[in-house]
Amino acid sequence: MGIDIQQLYRDLHAHPELSFQEHRTAGIVAEHLHALGFTVHPGIGITGVVGILTNGPGGTVLLRADMDGLPVEEATGLDYASTARGTDTDGKDVPVMHACGHDVHVACLLGALERLVDERANWQGTVVAVFQPAEESGGGAQAMVDAGLFDLVPRPDVVLGQHVAPFPAGWIGIRPGVAMASADSINITMFGAGGHGSRPETTVDPVVMAAATTMRLQGIVSRELAAGDSAVLTVGQLHAGTKNNIIPAEATLGISLRTFDEPVRTKMVNAIERIVRGEASVSGALKDPLISYDEHFPLTRNDEQATLRTTAALGNVFGQQIIDPGPISGSEDVGVLATAAGVPLVFWFLGGSDPALAEALAATGRLPEDIPSNHSPHFAPLIRPTLGLGIDALVAAAREWLN
């Protein structure tokens, strides 16, 4: 068939779609899977696509790629830059960009599947290809599981996946154990009593209440966690009011919490709720704040033995250019697939930036701080050699488990 992976990537990059809206992308994926001879199941978890190829007896490998873009306006200046727009879950018209590299993931997985088909005389077993929607919202993997993914596919021996990252192309980042943080999105509404801005004494000001809460929350990590523990707490949204001379009746906060183990997460959640309720109480709020939990990403935890085995296979391709990046504070939902199947997970990071950056990495152990990272409007992985190396990585890892 001969998929033009570079052209496919450019097309995917120019036409991103928001979470659970990946209809065009899913159609392209399904078309290529059919052409490669896979049994195809579309519409799993709304827009997810699954392909199955059995090539005799042997191991069963699940390879996963995510498909959704982000509500970001692209500023890369590329000739294939996205000008797409979409409608978010609040009904707002927003720009859309593949600012996290999921277009890389889809292109690499399709390229790897084509190579495995071309080389099937050299391996035996079953390949399960999962093209997952809505990773960015944290619900895509669970939606596929809830839709009966593992009733459709044979139980795999391992779940494998990769994520493009802003370090030099030609390098792989992989580690056993905790690879990425868990994440919680917490929405809080604080209730005051509104009134005229000239008479604050007749009100309970929720703006001041929310501002005090925001500052107090920043002390949890520095004052309540042990030095060896780690968490990231960000107040990413604070909304209140409609006019300068009106004290509003309520204010809302949007919190992002990331942690690396469950006891620390529990401690952070308890502290957040204590502080929010405490600030409301001392401010004289007329009713208790409303605290709701929205998106949740579990810890991404690589199985130790499976990771060592897969790393050895990747070493045959990348040599010594394999690093342990440490636990990453970003989050993923790929672990949901492995947990649901009851099998090991191995998830690694694929370098996508200028290979020349390897010199800076070797000399200082760090990369320049101005390198655009995932979720930046300037994020633009190099097509060459990133796509070819991403295909190499997936094929090497899959063949290790198929063989």
Q: Which of 288, 139, 282 lies closest to 208 in space, CA to CA?
A: 282
Q: What share of the chain is helix, strand, coil (3-state, %, to 5)?
A: 35, 30, 35
How many other C-beta atoms can be found within 10 angstroms of the C-beta atom of residue 383?
20
Residues with Cβ within 8 Å of 246's Cβ and at least 6 positions away in sequence, in order, are 194, 195, 196, 197
239 is in an annotated binding site: no
Token pair of 117, please? 């088909």
Angle (CA) 339-323-158 rounded to 5° is: 25
User: Which residue in 29, 23, 28 sits closest to 50, CA to CA?
Assistant: 29
Burial class (CB in 10 A: 0-12, 13-18, 19+), 181: buried
Q: Residue 27, Cα to own-chain centre: how many angstroms?
A: 22
Q: Which amino acid is at 376?
A: S
Contacts of 233 (CB under 8 A, 6+ apart): 217, 218, 220, 221, 255, 256, 257, 258, 268, 272
Given the residues 68, 74, 157, 184, the one annotated as active site: 68
Active-site option among 66, 135, 303, 400: 135
The residue written with tokens 């000239």 in the block is 198
Query: Residue 302 and residue 321: Cα distance in Å, rounded?
Result: 19
Q: Is 23 annotated as a binding residue?
A: no
224 is catalytic: no
Known binding residue 108? Answer is no
Backbone angles phi and psi of 337, in degrees to 5: -65, -45
- Taking the C-alpha atoms of residue 112 and residue 391, their distance in angstroms, rounded to an integer, is 5
135 included as an active-site residue: yes
Q: Which residues are catalytic?
A: 68, 135
Binding site members for Mn(2+): 100, 102, 136, 163
Binding site members: 100, 102, 136, 163
